[in-house]
Structure 1
Amino acid sequence: MQTPQLQRSAFLLLLATVTIAFGWVLLPFAGAVLWSLALAILFTPVYRRLVRRLGGRRNLAALITLTVALVIVILPLFMIAMSLVAQVAQVSQRIRSGEISFSSYFQQVVAAIPRWALDLLDRLGLGDVESMIAKVAQGAAAASQQIAAHALSIGQNTFEFLVSFGLMLYLLYFLLRDGRELSAIVRNALPLARPHTNFLLNKFTTVIRATIKGNIVVAAVQGVIGGLALWALGVQGALLWGVVMSFLSLLPAVGAALIWLPVAIYFLATGSLWQGITLILIGVFVIGLVDNVLRPLLVGKDTQMPDYIVLMSTVGGLALFGINGFVIGPVIAAMFMAAWHVFATTREPGDDSPPV
């Protein structure tokens, strides 16, 4: 005999199964879905203003908003990516030919170390300079091979990229146009009290908007400043290192310094004092100031998360999910904190049951 409890359990099992299966189907295009959702959240205020000005014509407003997103965000990134691929191939060729030799750069830095410092390294068991140079040479060779392999894979995966890119634009259009209705469906479908649902979904959208807006602005500013500084100082591949600096700046506090600080040390060690001092001043007082001022203002203030939570969730997200992790990590951390906040504030004294 079929009881209501059995029917409900069977339906919940079916619901979980089809949900997992649908997620599995979308998994190859998870990045496209993530960025279409993120861009929809970011550009929804623009879409709503256009709807009011165009007298409620939602299709036209969504199309104009999509064009604005293309012009402001997507096309500039696409152009930078194309220039970056060309420069990556050029730099990797110079590394293979020996024109750029990280081992020789390292050897010049070691040669400039004072004798007392070398004696100290000997006492600490770190004075085997030849083995260190050999390791640097091996690392440079491996890095050049990886760079060349990634540049080749970018060319080979052009079709997959175009499919994902087209899917992202397609989804972005409908998420802009039908976002309010889809949001209402999600709110009504979640088996939570309405205040809890609104709180969690609002936290979700706020964190995505703040993370993308803040991190992309900080990364772009640091990458542009760092790239221009390296170009002005005559460093080869300034565009490449500026883009790498932008990606590394997703790591709060220490990211961009992983590029400009070794270059400044090389300048100082090889006698280019004014170049080294100039780069250190720019790195500390300009690039560092951007990170210390803009990031808390744009990210931490809106997400209402401590800086150390933002740092750990960003690093963990990047380690687990790649470039998409700088959004996914903070979102997971924010939802974790929000869910526990709901749990803690809805329990009554002496009540050991979870909130409903």
Structure 2
Amino acid sequence: MYDILERRSFLAMLLVVSLAFLFLIKPFTGPIFWAVAIAVIFNPVQLWLLRRLPGRHNLVAFLSLILCLVIVILPSLALISSLITEGVGLYQRVQSGELNPGQYIDQINQAFPAIQSFLDRFDVDLNKLREGAVSTFVGGSKLVAKQALGIGQNTFQFFLSFSLMVYLAFFLLRDGSRLIDLLIRALPLGDERERLLFAKFAEVTRATVKGNLLVAAAQGALGGFIFWVLGIGGALLWGVVMAIASLIPAVGAALVWVPAALYLAAIGDYVHAAILTAFGVLVIGLADNLLRPILVGRDTKLPDYMVLLSTLGGIVMFGINGFVMGPLVAALFVAFWGIFIREFNDPARAALEEAVEGADGCGES
């Protein structure tokens, strides 16, 4: 009886201390997550280097991290810096009245009166739609300017988070396999389930970051390029907006280039409008269909509705990191329920499938 009381007391204290530790590191959720993501994504590079430099774990982790900095992090920081500069300039132009988003919408409405007739069928008030679009545009530019000011005022916090991410990534690259083995021994979920969940976590993290973000970057780069070629102002800014919008299923980057093409047609620039439309449909639109199966793989792709819900929910809960963390949580949700259905809801069928798989393996061997 006393042993049971001791065990329960210890487990209760273990839970309390673990929750206290999680609360302690909560302010650093972003750096910790991206350090884990870096370790997962660059693990194949780590293993490749270890085969050529056996036993040099510190050197291999350092080289992997340097490769990550050169390929991913430093270009991202340069892009963010340029984006903030353009965003601040755009906000200043809106504030001074030099740029009037409502005027562009009015020009489109005057050039294409059929739009008003189409919206009337669904009882949509174009004036309210116009006001909402203008307020969204102004609010977005104001948000970028505010973030730029915040980064300037919190430079120390930014570099602290960045340094913490790099520092943790080094140790996770070096000791990642040992940490996973330790977690498998510690967690009371069953070793096979834990290995499956860790494998799913790594698979989805690679798919989300390497796949979704690279596809988004490709579509944003293509969109920014065609805007620059056509002489549309703020090409870099709109390219980044298209990259973010491309994470939204079904609509994607078309949220940006379609209104731009309509505006070009409204002001009589039919050649540029046709070029932008053709490029948007044939190049930007097809980039998703061509690149995503290659980079992500069909097995890890969530349904579009779940990607949409998890992405928007992730942004609300985790901020900008939610673009990755939201779909990751959704994928783990699906994985947990898949294990439950297979092992608990229909154990006889699960045992039969395992027996069949084992027989197939013996037959192949």
For the criterion TM > 0.5, the same-fold answer is yes
Corresponding residue for 1:27? 26
Corresponding residue for 1:93? 92
CA distance in 2, matches of 1:133, 1:219: 27
Matched residue SS, 1:336: helix
CA distance in 1, matches of 2:90, 2:161: 28
One-letter identity of the residue aligned with 1:184: D
- Contact kept, 8 Å, 1:253 with 1:291, in 2: the verdict is no
Correspondence list, 1:198-217, <5 A:
198-217=195-214
Matched residue SS, 2:42: helix
Corresponding residue for 2:264? 267
**CA shift in 2, pair 1:157/1:108, >3 Å:** same
One-letter identity of the residue aligned with 2:31: A
Corresponding residue for 1:154? 151
- Contact kept, 8 Å, 2:104 with 2:263, in 1: the verdict is yes
Correspondence list, 1:8-157, <5 A:
8-114=7-113, 118=116, 129=127, 137-157=134-154
Displacement after TM superposition at 1:146 (Å): 3.0
CA distance in 2, matches of 1:120, 1:67: 55
CA distance in 2, matches of 1:74, 1:18: 34
1:169 aligns with 2:150: no
CA distance in 2, matches of 1:132, 1:340: 41
Matched residue SS, 1:250: coil
- List gaps (5 residues or longer) in structure 2: 351-365
Corresponding residue for 2:287? 290
Displacement after TM superposition at 1:67 (Å): 0.4
**CA shift in 2, pair 1:121/1:275, >3 Å:** same
Structure 1 residues 319-350: Cα deviation after superposition (integer angstroms, max 9, x where no partner): 33222222222222222222222222223359
Matched residue SS, 2:296: helix
Displacement after TM superposition at 1:176 (Å): 0.5
CA distance in 2, matches of 1:111, 1:44: 56
Displacement after TM superposition at 1:308 (Å): 3.9
CA distance in 2, matches of 1:322, 1:148: 17
1:253 aligns with 2:250: yes
CA distance in 1, matches of 2:44, 2:123: 60
**CA shift in 2, pair 1:333/1:157, >3 Å:** same
Corresponding residue for 2:277? 280
Question: Which range is displaced more, 37-46 or 339-348?
Answer: 339-348
Corresponding residue for 1:354? none
Q: Identity over aligned residues, as a percent?
A: 46
Structure 1 residues 35-85: Cα deviation after superposition (integer angstroms, max 9, x where no partner): 000010000111121122123111111111110000000000011111111
Structure 1 residues 2-21: Cα deviation after superposition (integer angstroms, max 9, x where no partner): 62221121111111111111
CA distance in 1, matches of 2:3, 2:323: 44
Structure 1 residues 69-110: Cα deviation after superposition (integer angstroms, max 9, x where no partner): 000000000111111111111111111122221011112112
Structure 1 residues 128-183: Cα deviation after superposition (integer angstroms, max 9, x where no partner): 75x66566555554444333222211212221110000000000000001111111
- Contact kept, 8 Å, 1:62 with 1:176, in 2: the verdict is yes
Matched residue SS, 1:316: helix
Matched residue SS, 1:331: helix
**CA shift in 2, pair 1:4/1:172, >3 Å:** same
**CA shift in 2, pair 1:74/1:276, >3 Å:** same
**CA shift in 2, pair 1:314/1:142, >3 Å:** closer
Question: Which range is displaced more, 342-351 or 172-181?
Answer: 342-351
CA distance in 2, matches of 1:102, 1:24: 44
Displacement after TM superposition at 1:281 (Å): 1.2
Corresponding residue for 1:197? 194
Displacement after TM superposition at 1:304 (Å): 5.3
- List gaps (5 residues or longer) in structure 1: 352-356
* Aligned residues between the structures: 348
- Contact kept, 8 Å, 1:206 with 1:302, in 2: the verdict is no
Matched residue SS, 2:298: helix
Matched residue SS, 1:234: coil
**TM-score, normalised relative to structure 1:** 0.90
